[in-house]
């Protein structure tokens, strides 16, 4: 897949024209989790603009796409009004479908699936079933019990 195919594919599937990004960096500057990302939002957009198969592979295996909160801060700050959260949703879906989820992101993916399961089951979010589903599937049954509090 060459860079034009990748850009066109993303535009067709998400409606977002990644070629319109001119790398101002406002998305990364406003991102509340940008410092924790292995690939920052502006770099993700650049990789989608200029990349091909190897860049897409790197993105699909990154932790960043799972750390994205979809809070839309990047979208609200973007002078080109590019819906980066929609692109992140696409990348997450593709990463999951292709089995390329970063192992560091496994708890995030488990929580994501538990959240969707709770909504599918109840038609809305039911916190108790969300927590139970997450705890059971992640194996982190007691992770909240033994954390030391900071004084």
For residue 147, is it within any domain?
no
The tens digit of pLDDT for each residue in 19-56 reads 999 999 999 999 999 999 999 999 999 999 987 888 99
pTM confidence score: 0.82
- Please check whether residue 145 lies inside any domain of the structure: no
Identify whether residues 117 and 93 lie together within a single domain. no
Is there a domain that residue 87 lies in?
yes
In our burial notation (b when 16+ CB lie closer than 10 A, e otherwise), range 54-93 reads ebbeebbbbbbbbbbeeeebbbebbeeebbbbbbbebbbe
d(CA 45, CA 66): 15
- Report whether pLDDT(4) > 70: no
The reply to whether 148 falls in a domain is no
Is 128 domain-assigned?
A: yes
If asked whether residues 28 and 87 sit together in one domain, one would say yes
Band of pLDDT at residue 130, cut at 50, 70 and 90: confident
> How many folded domains does the chain comprise?
2
Same domain, 43 and 7: yes
Return left, alpha or beta for 55; rule: phi > 0 is left, psi -120 to 50 is alpha, else beta.
Answer: alpha
Residue 22 forms part of a structural domain: yes
Residue 119 inside a domain? The answer is yes
Q: Of the ranges 45-54, 68-77, 100-109, which is most confident?
A: 68-77
Residues 20 and 87 in one domain: yes
1: pLDDT confidence band, cut at 50, 70 and 90? low
């Amino acid at each position: 897949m060459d860079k034009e195919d990748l850009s066109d594919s993303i535009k067709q599937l998400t409606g977002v024209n990644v070629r319109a990004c001119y790398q101002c960096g406002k998305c990364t500057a406003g991102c509340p989790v940008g410092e924790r990302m292995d690939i920052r939002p502006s770099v993700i957009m650049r990789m989608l603009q200029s990349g091909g198969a190897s860049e897409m592979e790197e993105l699909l295996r990154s932790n960043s796409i799972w750390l994205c909160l979809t809070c839309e801060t990047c979208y609200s700050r973007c002078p080109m009004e590019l819906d980066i959260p929609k692109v992140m949703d696409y990348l997450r879906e593709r990463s999951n479908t292709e089995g390329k989820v970063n192992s560091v992101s496994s708890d995030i993916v488990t929580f994501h699936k538990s959240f969707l399961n709770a909504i599918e089951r109840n038609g809305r979010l039911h916190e108790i079933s969300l927590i139970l589903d997450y705890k059971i599937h992640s194996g982190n049954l007691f992770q909240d019990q033994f954390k030391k509090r900071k004084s």
